[in-house]
Amino acid sequence: MTTANLRPMMKCGHAANSLTWEKKPACAICFGIRDGATVVAETPPDLTGREAGCSYCGKTRPSSPGLAFFEHCPELTRDRFYCGCMDCGGRRR
At 4 the three-state DSSP class reads: helix
CA-wise closest residue to 16 among 2, 33, 30: 30
For residue 11, is it within any domain? yes
Res 4: pLDDT: 47
Res 88: pLDDT: 60
Res 16: pLDDT: 97
Contact yes or no for 18/38 (Cβ under 8 A): no
pLDDT tens figures, 35-87 = 999 999 999 999 999 999 999 999 999 999 999 999 999 999 999 999 998 76
State the number of CA atoms in the 13 A half-sphere of 44 facing the CB: 15
CA distance 11 to 58: 25
For residue 93, is it within any domain? no
Confidence band of 90 (pLDDT split at 50, 70, 90)? low
CA-wise closest residue to 93 among 65, 53, 64: 53
Range of the domain at 69: 1-84
Res 86: pLDDT: 75
For residue 91, is it within any domain? no
- If one counts the domains in the chain, the total is 1
For residue 41, is it within any domain? yes
